[in-house]
Amino acid sequence: MATLRLGDLAPDFEQDSTEGRIHFHQWLGDSWGVLFSHPADFTPVCTTELGTTAKLKQEFERRNVKVIALSVDSLASHHRWIADINDTQGTEVNFPILADADRKVAELYDLIHPNASATATVRSVFVIDPAKKIRLTITYPASTGRNFDELLRVIDSLQLTEYQSVATPANWKEGDDVVIVPSLQDPELLRKKFPKGWEAVRPYLRYTSLPKRAE
């Protein structure tokens, strides 16, 4: 199928997982979602990634994000692998891992790239909003573990744009100034949304501050 693009509807599916049968859109409900794929079970980089994801459970929850992983290995293999992840990473896997042995989900999300591998999924991540639209895609080489600080940063940025009408400048992190989206021009609405005001460096470049997210 064609490569999924930002703004596309995330394909729905039903597939078995380590936490039972998953009907993806129903499982997401009104949450944001992170779907991330792994080339195979019992691989070193993936093991560290799934352990890191488990340790970040509270960070994902306070952003209203559900996390789900995928590998084309079997459910039995996943359960054996989880024991290794828990042991080596000092955590407990607390999210579902899809068992995509028939590659149904991998094909829906274009995760089999023949130039990388004819059988294993590439290391991709999708951020999906509550409307089930794809808001971010990143694909890493198999040898490079994902940067979860960056993933959380992007989710924060997407949610600020979605709910606060702001965008985030280069190297932004939570607590830094943001920029007001150019489409917001109504003076009354601007004053209502940003009662502390803003600095207009240019008509299109307006900096403002926002309170940090509650812990």
User: 105-147, pLDDT tens digit by residue?
Assistant: 988 998 875 554 544 556 789 999 999 999 999 988 888 899 9
Neighbour order of strands in the sheet with 123-128? 97-99, 65-71, 32-37, 123-128, 134-140
**pLDDT for residue 214:** 56
Report the Cα–Cα distance between both ends of the chain, in Å, rounded. 41
Which entry of 22, 28, 34, 46 is annotated as an active-site residue?
Answer: 46
Tell me 96's DSSP state: -
Residue 150 lies in a domain: no
Is there a domain that residue 81 lies in?
A: yes
pTM of the model: 0.90
pLDDT at 142: 80
Burial per residue of 70-97, b for 16 or more beta-carbon CB atoms within 10 angstroms, e otherwise: bbbbeeebbeebbeebeeebebebebbb
**Residue 158 counted as domain residue:** no
| 178 vs 44: CA distance, rounded Å | 37
Same domain, 99 and 204: no
Does residue 214 lie within any of the structural domains?
no
Query: What are the pLDDT digits (tens) for 52-73?
Result: 999 999 999 999 999 999 998 8
Shared domain check, 115 and 74: yes
Instruction: Kindly state whether residue 174 falls inside one of the protein's structural domains.
Output: yes
Same domain, 112 and 34: yes
Same domain (yes/no): 99, 134: yes
Pair (116, 197) in one structural domain: no
Are residues 171 and 95 part of one domain?
Answer: no
Phi and psi at 172, nearest 5°, equal: -60, 145
Spatial contact of 169 and 161, defined as CB atoms under 8 Å apart:
no
Q: Is 134 a catalytic residue?
A: no
> For 165, which DSSP code?
S
Residues 20 and 114 occupy one common structural domain? yes
| Inside any domain, residue 32 | yes
CATH label of the domain that carries residue 40: 3.40.30.10
Domain that holds residue 51: 14-144
Burial 24-35 (b: 16+ CB within 10 A, else e): bbebbeebbbbb
Q: Are residues 21 and 96 in the same domain?
A: yes
Interval 170-200: pLDDT, tens: 999 988 999 999 999 999 999 999 998 999 9
Cβ neighbors of 173 (< 8 A, separation 6 or more) are 153
**Domain limit, last residue, from 144, 177, 193:** 144
Which residue, 144, 175, 192, sits at the end of a domain?
144
d(CA 106, CA 72): 8
In the prediction, which pLDDT does 212 show?
67
Contact 153, 174 (CB under 8 A): yes
- At 95, which helix (H) or strand (E)? none
- Mean pLDDT, the chain, rounded, equals 91
Residue 2 in tokens: 């064609």
- Extract the tokens encoding 155: 């989710």
Provide the number of structural domains found in the chain. 2
